[in-house]
Amino acid sequence: MIGVMASAKEKEKVAKKDTAEFKVGMHCQGCVNRITNELTYTTGVTDLKVSLDDKTVWVEFKPQKISADSLFSKLKSMGYTVEKKQ
Amino acid sequence: MTLSVVLVMWLATLKGVVFGESNDPIPDAYVSVLGSKKGAFTDSEGKFLLEDEISSNSKLVVEFAGYNSDTIKIGNQIDFQINLKPISLETVTIQAKNGLTNMRTTTLQVQSIGAGELFRAACCNLSESFQTNASVDVSYSDAATGAKQIRLLGLSNQYVQMTVEKIPVFHGLAMPYGLNYIPSALISSIQISKGSGSVVDGYDAMSGQINIELKKPQNSDRLNVSAFIDSKSMYQADALFSHRFSDSTSTLLFAHYSDNLKCGDENGDSFMDMPDTKQVNIYNRWFASRGILRQQAGVKYIGERRKSGQMEDMLNPYKVSINTNRFEAFAKEGFIINPEKHRSVGIILSASYHDMESNYGLIPYDANELNTYLNAIYQSDLNKKLELKCGLNGVIDNFDEKLNLANDNTNERSVGLFSEFTYKPTKRISAILGLREDYINTDSWFTTPRLHLMYSPTEEIQVRGAISYGSRTPHLYAENPSLLITNRDIIITEDIKREKSWNYGVSAQWTNDDSKFEPSISAEWYYTDFKEQMLIDYNADPHMIIISNLDGRRSFSNTAQLEASIKLFRGFTLTGAYRHTTVKQPLDNGKLVQKPLTGRNKVVATAGYETKLKKWQFDFTAQCNGKGNMPKPDEENPLWEKTYKAFTLFNAQVARHFRYLDIFVGCENIGNFKQKNPIISAKEPWSENFDGTMIYGPIEGRKFYATVKYKIDYK
């Protein structure tokens, strides 16, 4: 019984996804394309929305593969002004 | 001695507040120094604090969704109070659906095909870029040469002005094969404009304009290589390389090669189903900007060897060979005089030399064409509601043709003046009135008026209307080499005049961005009324083709189209379109009849699905082409049917995208539909009944293909 519960919890942990939203200083469609290309193929990212109008990047990810802080650092390392959205 | 100015930079702390309408502070607005990667977002009170290096010329840029961005000279100021204005209709964001966009802010009706739409189907070159598009038909001109023609509003490609970045191309000798001269790997986007377009671009768009934007060195991939192969043994390789020397200077180099591993005769009529075509295409372009000056220049070479006809094992085979060398060059200079008043001067220069040596059976046809083009445009806002474009245009077109049937050695020179006013009295109404006056040495002075109107009662609805005039000089054999793939007698009854037409059109579109389904519907009607036209009559006699002028008789095209699109759920989009076309000419001894080989009805339906991160894409297209008339057969000995039946073509493609790699696998013409007997008397090509010009559908059957692309972005 305990073994079954642990397995179910592990499955729940694996299935869990987190989201994070960032304000990113994007200037043009080129920035959108760059960010989209980079994050789409980042391990752990499962969904992504990049808005030039709102200057926001919304990411859905698997927390066991990548963290919100790693995504923040990745965007900063691309040279953009980034702030976490509350 | 060279004098150079060095700008002194210093670290500054800039602060301020950003307000919107009614002086409400705007949180999360983005503030940056123009050209700097640093920036800051405003807080909940609209305040910002930004530390960055500036000079005496630096400007502060403030942006926020739904508002027009503002650019302010910093000077000695460090504390700012900025008021942003809400966005106007002119700057409404254009919604892209899978890369196909019906432009909502333009006065002219323009449909833009972006990269996403281009690669929803097999796309080797420009001729295959319209497979999911209901407005443009692409078909083979004949059963032997592989020449393709476009139809827009039911009218064939001589009435469509083809431009590459607003430079006219593919007229005269290049027209029959021009669609194959632009590999898809070089295309950035395509704009389709129905009706006669702007007077700025010339006088010869009679049914519409198709403008191709190529990839540009200042925003292209660093490297992009692709390879294509299909089950009919055609293969193609493309390589593009770009280099940015600085932010202001960049170059792009492109090379293409295509060939066939083998050519077969699957329908058993003794003729190759598709020509054996080898093409080399090399292109180099440059971009430079210095202050108010923007410069572009490029050169291109296309070499093509095309062989078709009967298979080698025939006794005394009928053979077609077309050898082409084409050189192109262009230069564009743009001077931005006053950006606030949109005041600028642009000069476009282009030149092309096209040399062709060909044989159609026993008929040699050699020709060359030298074309030079100049367009100088001045544009400026006259006030807040009125904009002016005016300029000067000149074309030299030297045609030298050697053909034992008739020679066309026209040396055409034209010069023209044009002016165009764009009037926008309110956010929701705009009008463009254009007028040009041209002189052609082969004719005389002529006037080209054009009027375009747009009314947008709400942000979701646009209604457009247009009345426009167009004219052009026809070249019989250069633009219709398929006439040589027949043993009919060609009778030219008189000197052929310049073609002229009036085009009338209305359209309406509705798009709902707020709905999660993103529905859109568009409806349009266009009528093209020819005042003069070169008639090519296959109907009067099954053993003749009679060439004559319209001379006051009636000839028209009447097209109505309805198109709808909806996103059923995230990633899945359905599009459907129906088009009805009536094209009537006085063929058949002066009787007004539907033009042969032009179906009246067409339905196109597409379904596309892409996964959340767009790593997988699935596309399916069905095209149903309605029945139509064939040219009249001989009544005593009919060698073909009077009509052809409706037929449907299905295409499907799966794409997988990786970080640096894209793979496309698909099938064209899944149902394997082929036109039966595309060549009349194929096994007796020297008989009087031989005719390879009556093509209404695919000659090739089902075709599987695969494309692999590797790309490296510019970091």
Q: Give tens-digit pLDDT for B225-269.
A: 999 999 999 999 999 999 999 889 999 999 999 999 888 888 888
CA distance B156 to B533: 13
Please give the pLDDT value at position A30: 82
Nearest CA in chain B to A49: B613
In this complex, which of B37, B219, B613 lies closest to A79 when CB atoms are compared? B37
Task: Confirm or reject contact between A10 and chain B (CB < 8 A).
Answer: no
DSSP three-state, residue B589? helix
Where is average pLDDT lowest: B85-99, B416-430, B452-466, B650-664?
B85-99
pLDDT 10s digits, B306-330: 999 998 777 889 999 999 999 999 9
pLDDT value at B2 more than 50? no
Q: CB distance from B51 to chain A under 8 Å?
A: no
Task: State the pLDDT confidence band at B87, using cuts at 50, 70 and 90.
Answer: low
Q: How far apart are CA B448 and CA B161, in angstroms?
A: 15
| pLDDT at residue B88 is higher than 80 | no
Q: From CA B86, how far away is CA B106, in angstroms rounded? A: 20
Flag whether residue A62 sits within 8 Å of chain B, measured between CB atoms.
no
**Residue A24 DSSP one-character state:** E
B66:A53 CB<8 A: yes
H helix or E strand, kind and range, residue B526: strand B520-532
Mean pLDDT over residues B551-576, rounded? 96
Task: Give which of B714, B486, B602, B502 is closest to B134, Cα–Cα.
Answer: B602
C-alpha to C-alpha distances, B363 to B228, B416, B490, B518, nearest whole angstrom: 34, 38, 13, 56
Residue A48 to residue B613, Cβ atoms within 8 A? yes
Give the pair of three-digit tokens for residue B615. 């790593």
Percent of chain B predicted with pLDDT > 70? 96
At residue B93, does pLDDT exceed 50? no
Provide the shortest C-alpha distance from residue A3 to chain B (in Å): 34
Across the interface, whether the CB atoms of A40 and B66 are under 8 A apart is answered no
For residue B122, the model assigns a pLDDT of 72
A45 contact residues in B (CB cutoff 8 A): 613
Average pLDDT over residues A7-31: 79
Q: State the pTM of this model.
A: 0.89
* Across B85-101, average pLDDT: 51
Q: What is the pLDDT at residue B262?
A: 85
The number of C-beta contacts closer than 8 angstroms across A and B is 48
Per-residue pLDDT, averaged over B582-598, amounts to: 91
Q: Which residues of B388-408 are buried (b: 16+ CB within 10 A; e: fewer)?
A: ebbbebebbbbbbbebeeeeb
Q: Which of B170-174, B325-329, B374-378, B430-434 has the lowest mean pLDDT?
A: B170-174
Show the tokens assigned to B379. 């544009």
CA distance B513 to chain A (A): 14
Report pLDDT digits (tens) over B374-391.
999 999 999 989 999 999
Which tokens hold the place of B668? 């064209």
Q: Other CB atoms closer than 10 Å to residue A64's CB: what's the count?
A: 12
With CB atoms and an 8 Å threshold, state whether A25 touches B30. yes
Give every CB contact of residue B362 below 8 A, 6+ residues apart in sequence. Answer: none
pLDDT digits (tens, 9 = 90+) for B685-704: 999 999 999 999 998 899 99
Contact assignment for A25 to B713 by CB distance below 8 Å: no
Of the candidates B38, B613, B713, the beta carbon closest to that of A40 is on: B613
For B713, the closest of A37, A45, A48 (CB atoms) is A37
Q: How far is CA A50 from CA A20, A24, A38, B480, in A?
A: 12, 9, 12, 49
Helix (H, G, I), strand (E, B) or coil at B484: helix
- Whole-number Å distance between alpha carbons of B177 and B304: 10
Q: Are B492 and B547 in contact (CB under 8 A)?
A: yes
A86 close to B (CB below 8 A):
no
Whether B123 contacts B179, CB under 8 Å: no
> Which residue out of B60, B64, B570, B612 would a mutagenesis test of the A interface target, given it has the greatest number of A Cβ atoms within 10 Å?
B612
| Angstrom distance (rounded) from CA B201 to CA B214 | 18
Distance from CA of B244 to the nearest CA of A (A): 15
